[in-house]
Amino acid sequence: MSTVTESVDVDVDVTTVYNQWTQFESFPQFMSGVEDVRQLDDTHTHWRIAVGGAHREFDATITEQHPDERVAWRSDSGPRHAGVVTFHRLDDRHTRVTAQLEIDPEGFVENVADKTGALDLRVKGDLTRFKAFIEQRGGQETGAWRGDVERPGR
């Protein structure tokens, strides 16, 4: 497993940034290689992605979610990965978004991307595009889900 950690500071308040991040179906608008995300219920999503010309599908479970703080997940099928995105209020109009992913690259293309640092660059690019996405909307989210999901065993 490889770990990728990247952050970006967004010129929007923490609640709006968090609300936008919970709109998983908007991810293809700013995440490279993400073709489609369907939210199946409060804690399950289905993804279609393209990596180096290879197409993959997988399901993921949201394992923890707390408004304005964090969203954590793990894959249930397909490429093995897990992660957490945290939201840190810097002041009334600025938020730091930090993504930490653990990825088990599968196949030649994913292993090369991991070893060359391309995965880190992809995550950094996704966060940069998310920043532009929410800032260009004038700080207006496309929707929100404010529910709590407790980590198993809590």
CATH assignment, 2-136: 3.30.530.20
* pLDDT confidence band for 106 (50 / 70 / 90): low
Asked whether the predicted pLDDT for residue 111 surpasses 70, the reply is no
In this prediction the pTM is 0.89
b/e map of 39-54 (b: 16 or more CB within 10 Å)? Answer: eeeeeebbbbbebeee
CB of 141 closer than 8 Å to CB of 55: no
| Domain residue extents for the chain | 2-136
What dihedral do alpha carbons 119, 49, 138, 91 form, nearest 10°? -40
